[in-house]
Structure 1
């Protein structure tokens, strides 16, 4: 079950409001733009993420949820030259309809294998810091160990048979 924290803010005007957030969930706003691209005499529309910011003020709002099983992929992304976020935007060849976002390149690769349109953008610094603190709280993913094969595993066992005296 997801543990939610309630943060109460008091703005200058004296009004009260609450923001719900959790350890592994953040809202991100996305603005897309279409750019015409010439390919062999044809004009194609290529979509890209024009703006990706924390909060809920863009054309599309998606929730970035972190999973313990993806910690190694998050670390790999954070140690790259430019950490990125990946947005699933519907099927290839159709107008984009963003419906999911991830910081895991492994998850994004799975979406691409399923012929989904995947858009990417640089990860905002606020999200990098949040992701780093998530990894610090929950620990790094344990290194995958090679499975030891048992002697004779995968082969028919040769057992000596006793010959019956006649």
Structure 2
């Protein structure tokens, strides 16, 4: 069994703040009180995956590492269902028209992800793939 676990429970709350933009009022939802454990109003397991190591590294080396929470469909009251440290996963949620909330990643989570990457190794560099001759080009069809 690995000495570095790949799952951490996190709890938090989601609050809405009124926001006015050019005379229109909306609600901006944000995550507050993010702490380890299952004790908050919302609790999700942050799970790390080997296939996302490059995305974790990218996030950790950004100016402000973030966690991303899938919080139901856009336009509805947030109902968190998943959390990730991968911007790639968060982008796929957005492509699916889900609401994604983000929050600063606590230092303890950053250290845990660093330890996970150190234990399992950096993601292998993705080499440039060779194209087959003529791949991706339209072919002329003889009539």
TM-score (norm 1): 0.76
Cα distance in 2 for residues equivalent to 1:147 and 1:123: 34
Matches within 5 A, 1:136-147: 136-147=118-129
Q: What's the offset of the Cα at 1:4? A: 8.0
Report the RMSD for the aligned CA atoms in angstroms.
Answer: 1.7
Give the secondary-structure state (helix, strand or coil) at the position aligned to 1:130: helix
Cα distance in 1 for residues equivalent to 2:19 and 2:61: 32
Matches within 5 A, 1:6-45: 23-45=5-27
Q: Could you list the runs of 5+ residues in structure 1 that have no partner in the other structure?
A: 6-21, 156-166
> Which segment is superposed worse, 141-150 or 110-119?
141-150
Question: 1:57 pairs with 16, 29, 39, which one?
Answer: 39
Higher Rg of the two aligned structures: 1
**1:73 corresponds to 2:51:** no
Partner residue, 2:80: 98
Partner residue, 2:134: 154
Q: What's the offset of the Cα at 1:149? A: 4.1
Partner residue, 2:140: none
Q: Is the 8 A contact 1:54 1:127 kept in 2?
A: no
Cα distance in 1 for residues equivalent to 2:48 and 2:36: 15
TM-score (norm 2): 0.88
Higher relative contact order (CA 8 A, sep 6+): 2
Q: What's the offset of the Cα at 1:93? A: 0.4
Report how many residues are paired.
135
Cα distance in 2 for residues equivalent to 1:114 and 1:128: 27
Q: Could you list the runs of 5+ residues in structure 2 that have no partner in the other structure?
A: 136-143
Moved over 6 A (4+): none
Post-superposition CA distance 1:108-156 (Å, at most 9, x none):
0111111110000000111111100000010000000012346xx227x
Q: What's the offset of the Cα at 1:85? A: 0.2
